[in-house]
Structure 1
Amino acid sequence: MAAPLPPALIATDLDGTLLRGDDTLSERSLDALARVAAAGARHLVVTGRPAPRVRALLAALGTGGLAVCGQGAQLYDAGADRLLWSVTLDRELAETALGKIEAEVGEVYAAVDQDGIDGLTLIEPGYLMPHPTLPSVRVERRGDLWRAPISKVLLRHPVLSDDELASAARSVVGSLATVTMSGPGTVELQPCGITKATGLAMAAARLGLGRESAVAFGDMPNDIPMFQWAAHGVAMANAHPELKAVADEVTTSNEDDGVAAVLERLFPAAARRARQ
């Protein structure tokens, strides 16, 4: 489906999409987003990161409005620094789901994102953070992961690939949780029925915008629901094959400013000579 011109809503994932591999934003991307805002369109960050892990990035973007965080489990108001809406993953269900997964594939290593504006990321022994720049707190045993409400569980397997782990998890978890894959080394369990699309739809409704005016950018299978909701989905060159298969177009990689390249086309006034 062709993208509406000009779109009124731009939804971007962060890791592997808008951000470069070192977690930075290029000047070209910042310029393109600034010109999009000047044209009257709205930019929404739609990320798997929990709200406490996006504050600095949203400040760098100059975003004082809404952001969809935690794979859609949180709607964050950056200007007020508060959660407008959040849903937690029942901790007993999460433990049960983990037990089913380990009965299927053997031992996995787990981490959790706690709910709330100041929630921590807790990691059990053996779990390695896929993003070493993101802060985390190591706990002594798995039981410590459940000491406060959580928004999601992150899983890693010592041998299986992400695709293999996600497939096995989906085969046994059922309605206990939604299984997603959001990046290298990042298979997640989140509340059943919650996706980036549910969060994006809620944020768009608050802004008085609909799916027919939305363009979404992403790189991983967790972005598929967002692509299905939006009028136009743009996958990065570095995207997972499952996302490319449902995308309306593929742009250049996150390292090559793929988001900016498309925005410069959709908003011609935003096109400027990229600064090195």
Structure 2
Amino acid sequence: MTTTPLSPPFPRPKLVATDLDGTLLRSNGSLSERTRSALEAAKEAGIRIALVTGRPPRCVPALMESIGRHFVIAANGAALYAPDGTAMQISPMRSDAATELVARLRGAVPGVSFAVEYETAYGREPDYPSWSFGKDAVELIGPAEDLLTPAPGRHVLKLLAHHPTLPLDVFYEQARRSAGSSAETTHSTGLSLVEFSAPGVTKAAMLLAWSGGLGIGTDEIAAFGDMPNDLPMLRAVGASYAMANAHPDVVRTARCRTPSNDEDGVAQALERFVAAPPADVALC
């Protein structure tokens, strides 16, 4: 394992925040038994676990069933859930601001199509690729402007934009410029797909607001990630880990390295945290 040296001693983290796809989960989407055991051992050692993902809230019940009862920060920081599945906080986009963003993107990037993530449903335009959104999800189809119209019990947590031909880096830069300060702009899939959240809504913002309320400092948090939507979280914590399979920007940003998701890199770090004396943990 290649690491960035840190000067010991370091206390055992009080909180571990981990991305899912490409980080905690293997490339086939499964959770290894080694990782499952490491998560449980960390909890038994008094370490809080937060699953921090771009996946929408409607995926939370299935995540808890397959991974375990942990805290979940979903939709790139737009929603926080307790281990019993109770919503603790949501940070939706303003419908008018999202509608204005759609108009700017249509003008700047012809051919763009949109999808919208709500709390328990999603919507997409007819031209937006019909990737799997979950077997039990409620799907709405129509123009983005209609999907963004306020409705009772329907909060917009994330707006997604796709382009059928532009390379991701080109599309992302055009989308980021169009959004400006009106939205947080990121990407996480490697496809020509860009994600927008309300201003100030990131994985880091929700993580720090929640952990701060628990009295946990940023230097008491270890975080793991692999894609650009993890960057704010990795920059915000004391011990940041890039997976061996991570995006180059994540590798440059994170303080530590750990093996790939298919090599149970998160589990290997958790095992070290639990095995070492609480006051003297080799983070990297």
What TM-score do you get using the length of structure 2 for normalisation?
0.85
| Alignment RMSD (CA, Å) | 2.1
Once the two structures are TM-superposed, the CA of residue 216 in structure 1 deviates from its matched residue by 0.3
- Counterpart of 1:209? 216
- Inter-partner Cα distance in structure 1 for 2:124 and 2:143: 9
In structure 2, runs of 5+ residues without a counterpart are 277-284
* Residue number among 260, 273, 278 corresponding to 1:266 in the alignment: 273
* Residue number among 105, 109, 112 corresponding to 2:109 in the alignment: 105
Q: Is the contact made by 1:68 and 1:203 (CA closer than 8 Å) also made in structure 2? A: no
Q: Is the contact made by 2:78 and 2:157 (CA closer than 8 Å) also made in structure 1? A: yes
Instruction: Tell me the SS of whatever aligns to 2:195.
Output: strand
| Residues 206 and 94 of structure 1, relative CA distance in 2, 3 Å threshold | same
Letter in 1 for 2:12: P
The sequence identity of aligned pairs, in percent, is 36
Instruction: Tell me the SS of whatever aligns to 1:182.
Output: coil
Once the two structures are TM-superposed, the CA of residue 72 in structure 1 deviates from its matched residue by 1.1
Once the two structures are TM-superposed, the CA of residue 172 in structure 1 deviates from its matched residue by 2.0
Instruction: Tell me the SS of whatever aligns to 2:157.
Output: strand
- Counterpart of 1:71? 76
Q: Is the contact made by 1:11 and 1:46 (CA closer than 8 Å) also made in structure 2? A: yes
Instruction: Tell me the SS of whatever aligns to 1:101.
Output: helix
Instruction: Tell me the SS of whatever aligns to 2:224.
Output: strand
- Inter-partner Cα distance in structure 2 for 1:52 and 1:89: 17
Once the two structures are TM-superposed, the CA of residue 161 in structure 1 deviates from its matched residue by 2.4
Once the two structures are TM-superposed, the CA of residue 129 in structure 1 deviates from its matched residue by 5.1
Does 246-255 or 208-217 show the bigger shift? 246-255
In structure 1, runs of 5+ residues without a counterpart are 270-276
Instruction: Tell me the SS of whatever aligns to 1:17.
Output: helix
- Counterpart of 1:273? none
1:120-139, aligned counterparts within 5 Å?
Answer: 120-128=121-129, 135=137, 137-139=139-141
Q: What is the aligned residue count?
A: 264
- Inter-partner Cα distance in structure 1 for 2:94 and 2:134: 28
Letter in 1 for 2:146: D
- Counterpart of 1:32? 38
Q: 2:174 matched to 1:172? A: no
What TM-score do you get using the length of structure 1 for normalisation?
0.88
- Inter-partner Cα distance in structure 2 for 1:144 and 1:100: 16
